[in-house]
Amino acid sequence: MENPFVSLQPEKLWQYFYEICQIPHCSKQEGKIVAYLIDFGKQLGLETISDEVGNVVIRKPATQGYENKPSVALQSHVDMVCEKNADVEFDFSKDAIQPYIDGEWVKAKGTTLGADDGIGVATQMALLASKDINHGPIECLFTVDEETGLTGAFALKSNMLKSKILLNLDSEDEGEIFMGCAGGKDTVGRIGYQTEAVSAGMKAIQIKVSGLMGGHSGDDIEKKRGNANKILVRFLWDMDHKYGIRLSSIDGGNLRNAIAREAQAVILVDDNNATALLNDAKEMNASVQAELKISDKGVKLEAKEITVPENVIDEASAKKLIAAAYAMPHGVIAMSQDIEGFVETSTNLASIKMENGQLVLTTSQRSSIESAKDNICSMVASVFELSGFKYESGDGYPGWTPDPNSAILKVSVEQFKKQFNYDPIVRAVHAGLECGLFSEKFPGLDMVSIGPTIRGPHSPDERLEIATVERFWKFVLDILEAV
């Protein structure tokens, strides 16, 4: 497709973002974009290094007269969340993202856009390629697999960065400067199941939940959006207690850091109860739409009769799955007592899957307080224990402790006020950022996180506000000039 950004400024930044959209770069599949960046750095004649996991650092010397300025690192991640609408045919391993302009926004056709964090990558590239910008020594760090495990940040060696100042370009709100973030951990529960033949006299009903906003399980968790998994198991619980249904298949959500937008199941019900169940589905649909009329206007719970499948999940395992998923906490658990309006602790019921003879529930916990993070992980684990699931929690990642006295924070605030003529909001973010790991690996590293405005990240509703990109670019340049 033709580049839709040819008239936008800054020209080089948008050109690089368009090129990034053409390169498949899902999490854990970043080989092509890593090669692209390495070639980019070498073509410019700049020092370019990479490590065994795929992290890339490109260093550019200071412009004349700025040699005595401190070295500044700029950082973004090269992977993207790969989500699409169920009715869209798209192969993220080979198809190019199809961006388009819709009024004041850039969107993608039926998929995530990848502005998180492709716009950060493009900003670094434009800076590295520039010949008319004044700056001290800079090094651009591009990390892999931020979205599904912070693999790049975890593997980063202490000799990869020389700078003592870092600008993280992975935030999503113009007018806000971030100085801290939550830590997180995943807790996954599994239980084995057997299959049985479908009894005679049963009808098969497909239940589908769709039309939800979804979004980032950190940034959007406080917006009271519906979770498709929770809606689906709520209905299954009710129907099981009313009619004694059997479960044939279930699939809901995808990524641990995304609020589930879609979920579906195939259930079997006695022929005599099929009509009543279909009517119950209509009633549940009306109830859910009324409950979520503000946050998720498009939500739908639909039920229809389909061909009877050959098998169902054994009754005991299905009941345990439904009970565990229904009881599983989801959403905001606690608000901060220190920062007004800031989410302290949350948990996300991310996905429900059938994998290799197991029923798998994936959850993700976040908190800015380590003990609170451990507490919510234990709460989730207790639900798994009560339901007969085996579970495990990952090592997680640390939070980034806010430093109100940060020198780079002071510079950033001053430059923002000069450009925008109002005070920025300085705060911590409930989402996880790689800065938490950087603070461990590079003691004394002074950091802020900034970015243009992105809405709907981690969902096909992702969109990038065009006007904020040029202002963000100028903001970055102002910081580099003033540091």
Q: How far is CA 113 from the centre of its chain?
A: 12
Residue 338 reports pLDDT greater than 90: no
**Can you state the angle between helices 115-129 and 11-21, rounded to 10 degrees?**
130
Return the bridge partners of 76, or none.
Answer: 142
The pLDDT assigned to 370 comes to: 86
The pLDDT assigned to 461 comes to: 93
User: Mind listing the pLDDT tens digit for each residue in 252-291?
Assistant: 998 888 999 999 999 999 999 999 999 999 999 999 999 9
Mean pLDDT computed over 226-243: 98
User: Mind listing the pLDDT tens digit for each residue in 159-193?
Assistant: 899 999 999 999 999 999 999 888 999 999 999 99
Tokens for 251, please give them.
């699939």
- In contact, 296 and 212? CB cutoff 8 Å: yes
- What distance in Å separates the CA atoms of residue 108 and residue 119, rounded to the nearest whole number? 14
Mean pLDDT computed over 424-429: 90
* List of domains in the chain: 11-182+399-482 (3.40.630.10), 191-393 (3.30.70.360)
Greater pLDDT, 459 or 379? 379
User: Mind listing the pLDDT tens digit for each residue in 123-165?
Assistant: 999 999 999 999 999 999 999 999 888 899 999 998 899 999 9
Residue 354 reports pLDDT greater than 90: yes
Mean pLDDT computed over 472-483: 97
What is the pTM assigned to this prediction? 0.75
Active-site choice (19, 30, 79, 186): 79
User: Mind listing the pLDDT tens digit for each residue in 22-35?
Assistant: 999 999 999 999 99
Task: Say whether 79 is catalytic.
Answer: yes
C-beta atoms surrounding 270 within 10 Å: 16
- In contact, 34 and 43? CB cutoff 8 Å: no
Task: Say whether 465 is catalytic.
Answer: no
Q: In sequence order, what DSSP letters do the residues of 242-255 get, joined into one string?
A: HH--EEEEEEE---
Per the rule left: phi > 0, alpha: psi between -120 and 50, beta: everything else, 480 is alpha
The pLDDT assigned to 219 comes to: 83
Residue 8 reports pLDDT greater than 90: yes
Return the bridge partners of 425, or none.
Answer: 176
Taken in order 216, 402, 58, 138, the sign of the CA dihedral is: positive
Active-site choice (19, 30, 139, 146): 146
